[in-house]
Chain A
């Protein structure tokens, strides 16, 4: 019955946005999308901290602005870390990605904290640079891994 199939298809098409809306409204999101978002958030925060630290080392920025930028970056990293750690996974690969992502975000927090401490007079700001670079590399690697996983799913 092609007519009724077409009718069902039309009804399904009409219901699809409603279903999508319901899913969005009920706060359901897949682990993959949560991880993607957290990686993006982490990369943005670490890169922000790197720029602020570089500018501070070049004496192009006020210390107050650097401290603010680092504080904002840390807040973003902690937010991302919280959302990842509260995400349930259903596959081995997602679970492994979650563990690695939490480690990378923690590296970022360590780097930002080191920079904040240096701004407060504890330690050297130069020491924060390699820590931030490590976090940046780890997050970039995870970004590639997440993209590959997404490609494999499609």
Chain B
């Protein structure tokens, strides 16, 4: 019974934890511009993150080492450092976007300028990381994030033309007034939002935090294979709501306040309150995960003592690194830069950096020295290799498309 409860909790947390500011904003933008014409990318992204998280969780549970310990060991210090640099900077950009997202969601509830909420959000992230236990912070934000299911409920309450939505999803392509290059730019952004590298740093480091062993592999597989796809359904629901209410009114999403309008349209204040709580929980949870991921990546590469299971005094550099990251994110947001813009860039650069961590994990998942008889099977290797190609193509195309489309404008 206890095991069933643990699996159920893990799945629910994975659903609620799947959506972050990148998913919220990118899916709403895409829904408001292309309808469900890019829903297939969410499917591709969800399968990709399942493959990636499943491999990295297995590597962590079997070898007892997290992603960046192994990357340094396998690639050597120099190549590992270049890898760390790129991954860390993109993660820092994501920390900034998530803290900005927390401030924006608090603005929806209070109408107070988000700049005033940034220090509060940053302090909240730090104190929770400092004080709360790993399991608690993961479960509370994940479960509260489940309130985002209101987007799926709202989509039904809006009574859309299901045939038209299905038509958009099954006949992908840009509408007449959109360029093909813009369509592919947002396809990559959506892919980057679904396969954000921090999710995997957090997942594999979390496996060490929770002392996973081979016995926990089944639970981890259930969390990933059930939780993430259901999280993907939430992403499509967000795009669907935007497609039904915002697209016909020619509203291209540029702010979080627009994302919640379809929910209010469908379910009034009650639904809106669920949406705001969900967005707050999702962005706050992701802010915790990305900040922890910053600490994890640095500490694992440099061989510092790390982990929430240790008291802060016993992992001082790990905690100091996270505090510095929070300050840098605050400083970036204090310039007045639009957090939504930061989010848009963070998801695109996530796609750019993805091969840097995906490839080493794929290699190690096939290494019997680390994995023993738990190496990838043939099917896993086939799908893993297909995704390597997809990830490489997305990474190579991202920056040229960013330039050519003027960041999708």
* 8 Å CB interface, A55-81 against B: 55, 59-65, 67-69, 71-72, 76
Which residues from A are CB-within-8-Å of B250?
A: 40, 43-44, 47
Do A72 and B255 touch across chains, with their CB atoms under 8 A apart?
A: yes
Do A65 and B108 touch across chains, with their CB atoms under 8 A apart?
A: yes
Interface segment among B92-100, B259-267, B324-332, B372-380: the answer is B259-267
Which residues from B are CB-within-8-Å of A61?
A: 261, 264, 268-269, 272
Interface segment among A20-28, A90-98, A104-112: the answer is A20-28
Please tell me if B111 contacts chain A, counting CB pairs below 8 Å. Answer: yes
Knowing A59-B269, A64-B111 touch, does A72 contact B257 (C-beta < 8 A)?
A: yes
- Say which residue of B249, B257, B260, B404 sits within 8 Å of A24 (CB atoms): B404
Knowing A21-B404, A62-B109, A68-B111 touch, does A44 contact B254 (C-beta < 8 A)?
A: yes
Which residues from A are CB-within-8-Å of B249?
A: 47, 50-51
Inter-chain CA distance A154–B107, complex, in Å, is 45
Which residues from A are CB-within-8-Å of B404?
A: 20-21, 24
- B402, chain A: closest CB distance, angstroms: 10
Knowing A24-B404, A51-B265 touch, does A65 contact B254 (C-beta < 8 A)?
A: no
- B53, chain A: closest CB distance, angstroms: 34
Do B403 and A21 touch across chains, with their CB atoms under 8 A apart?
A: yes
Please tell me if B110 contacts chain A, counting CB pairs below 8 Å. Answer: yes
Please tell me if B409 contacts chain A, counting CB pairs below 8 Å. Answer: yes
Q: How large is the interface on B (under 10, 10 to 19, 20 to 34, 35 or more residues)?
A: 20 to 34
Knowing A44-B251, A69-B257, A72-B254 touch, does A60 contact B406 (C-beta < 8 A)?
A: no
Inter-chain CA distance A21–B181, complex, in Å, is 13
Inter-chain CA distance A138–B268, complex, in Å, is 30
Do A25 and B109 touch across chains, with their CB atoms under 8 A apart?
A: no
Which residues from B are CB-within-8-Å of A44?
A: 250-252, 254
Per DSSP, chain B at the interface is helix
Do B111 and A48 touch across chains, with their CB atoms under 8 A apart?
A: no
* 8 Å CB interface, B220-269 against A: 245, 249-252, 254-255, 257-258, 260-261, 264-265, 268-269
Interface residues of A (CB under 8 A from B): 20-21, 24-25, 37, 40-41, 43-44, 47-48, 50-52, 55, 59-65, 67-69, 71-72, 76
Inter-chain CA distance A48–B111, complex, in Å, is 16
Do B111 and A67 touch across chains, with their CB atoms under 8 A apart?
A: yes
Which residues from B are CB-within-8-Å of A59?
A: 268-269
Inter-chain CA distance A48–B107, complex, in Å, is 17
Q: Which residue of A lies closest to B255 (CB)?
A: A72
- A116, chain B: closest CB distance, angstroms: 10
Inter-chain CA distance A65–B251, complex, in Å, is 17
Interface residues of B (CB under 8 A from A): 107-111, 245, 249-252, 254-255, 257-258, 260-261, 264-265, 268-269, 272-273, 276, 403-404, 406, 409
Known A25-B403, A43-B250, A51-B261; further 7 A-B contacts with Cβ < 8 A: A50-B249, A60-B264, A60-B272, A62-B269, A63-B111, A65-B272, A72-B257
Knowing A24-B406, A44-B254 touch, does A55 contact B107 (C-beta < 8 A)?
A: no
Ranked 5 nearest A-B pairs via Cβ: A72-B255, A69-B257, A64-B111, A67-B111, A60-B268
Inter-chain CA distance A21–B402, complex, in Å, is 11
Do B272 and A64 touch across chains, with their CB atoms under 8 A apart?
A: no
Which residues from B are CB-within-8-Å of A51?
A: 245, 249, 251, 261, 265
Do A68 and B269 touch across chains, with their CB atoms under 8 A apart?
A: no
- B105, chain A: closest CB distance, angstroms: 10
- Say which residue of B264, B265, B403, B409 sits within 8 Å of A65 (CB atoms): B264
- B20, chain A: closest CB distance, angstroms: 20
- B320, chain A: closest CB distance, angstroms: 35
Can you spell out 30 A-B residue pairs with CB atoms less than 8 angstroms apart? A21-B403, A24-B403, A25-B403, A37-B409, A40-B252, A41-B252, A44-B250, A47-B249, A47-B251, A48-B261, A51-B251, A51-B265, A55-B261, A59-B269, A60-B265, A60-B269, A62-B108, A64-B107, A64-B108, A65-B109, A65-B111, A65-B264, A67-B111, A68-B111, A68-B257, A71-B111, A72-B257, A72-B258, A76-B254, A76-B255
Inter-chain CA distance A144–B366, complex, in Å, is 59
Do B261 and A69 touch across chains, with their CB atoms under 8 A apart?
A: yes
- B318, chain A: closest CB distance, angstroms: 37
Which residues from B are CB-within-8-Å of A67?
A: 111
- A17, chain B: closest CB distance, angstroms: 8
- B115, chain A: closest CB distance, angstroms: 12
